[in-house]
Structure 1
Amino acid sequence: MDELGGIYARSVPSLDATVQLGVASGKLIQCSFPATPEANAESEHELLDRIEAYAEQETEDDFRDVEIALTIPSDQRAVLQTLRTVPYGETTTVESLVRRTPGLDPDGDDAAATVQSALSANPIPLVLPDHRVDDGRGATPGAVRRRLRAIEGIES
């Protein structure tokens, strides 16, 4: 299997978790933290190396250059693309994401729900950093979220 497609997973001790990636046509389509990785997962991938270096605090990688492919509704995609602009070590709120996301009406009744839906459906946590949203519940598991925030110097 080459890096253009497949499932890749590695235990990252500094996160106390396994990181599993799904790649298709050279683009990241999934990142998760399973208790047990897929049986056919390969352990060698450049992005796993970068994630490990980030977790070991060897680099302040924001992963913005990672090519991704999202198969979610357009309004949720817009939210996650806005979320991706939140820099390493900084945070945002659901309200701020509502205001900054193109196509969302800040005065609309369902805008905050759209943001929350996007965060909880986030298929690529870490690369789309839902751990940087102070008051939102993202797809990153709680223990991993706390560790990512600690790595970036974000107080919980």
Structure 2
Amino acid sequence: MLGSLFYALHVLGAVLWVGGMVFAILVLRPALAVLEPPQRLALHEAVLKRFFLIVWHAMPILLLTGYLLLFGWYGGFRGAGWHIHVMHLTALLMAGVFLTIVTGPWREFRTARARGDAASAAVQADRIRLLIVMNLVLGLLTTGVAAWGRFGG
């Protein structure tokens, strides 16, 4: 029963993180074009603040439940299939990209916005977008690997 709870938390964390990136890149960003640049940057800041807070909680839950499942269900790396190894690699890469975002361009974006430097904030928003796209690709790859590998593919 505990394994089912860990698995459910793991899947929910992945849905929140990957789904949030899909929404941010494919829905929100194109819709922002209707706003003037100052409004666009303000909305970017508000949305990313909330989204990054969700990821800041989902990411450790994903990693923790992943390791609990790896060692509790599969008996460690030796007992895990190829898909678990790929998910482990992509999870670490995604965590690294997220930490890069929040400690680099996100911090610089907020600093630029606070001092009223819209041009610098826009540059950082674009850096954030590129890194989120990178993480989205990794997240979709991870989801595909999870689904494919789960059934012995």
TM normalised by structure 2 equals 0.25
Higher alpha-carbon Rg: 2
